[in-house]
Amino acid sequence: MIQSAMARIDIATFKAEITSKPRGTRLRDFFRILCEKRDQGLIVNFLINWNDERRVVPAANVYAIRYLKEHKINVRIIRGGRCCHAKILMVDRDRAIIGSHNLSVRSCHNNFEVSYLILDPVNIARLAAIYDRTMIDTQPAG
């Protein structure tokens, strides 16, 4: 879905894992394409779980935040130590996937996860409004 993005990509996740493990190939490709899209001038927003006390923060997020910021992705965290537990992938504000999936090897290979594709313009607009309201109360990661 991100390969077809023309203008913007909005993401929210609890965990982002960028790994060199063989089972992480698809995730590496996902993040590579995400960075390529940013290099092409697309708006890429990435909301990820983080707090300074590192309570309930996956260790993989440390590396993911660094990697994404190096590639000029707009990486944000919710203020006040609030947990980002939403899992959203929205492309061009006309299609989205929501569900239980993190961007992690375990979510892709081991867990039972549910992902729901949304194409209806009314529901996309509602999801975009929720995402935008949440982004108001964020700060840059790291």
The closest of 142, 134, 141, 137 to 10, measured between CA atoms, is: 134
Count of Cβ atoms closer than 10 Å to residue 25 Cβ: 13
Buried b (16+ CB within 10 A) or exposed e, 75-94: bbbbeeeeebebbbbbbbbe
CA dist 142 and 133 (Å) reads 21
Q: What is the pLDDT of residues 54-104, one digit of tens each?
A: 677 888 999 999 999 999 999 999 998 889 999 999 999 999 999 999 999
Domains and CATH numbers, the chain: 2-140 (3.30.870.10)
Q: What is the pLDDT of residues 31-53, one digit of tens each?
A: 999 999 999 999 999 999 988 77
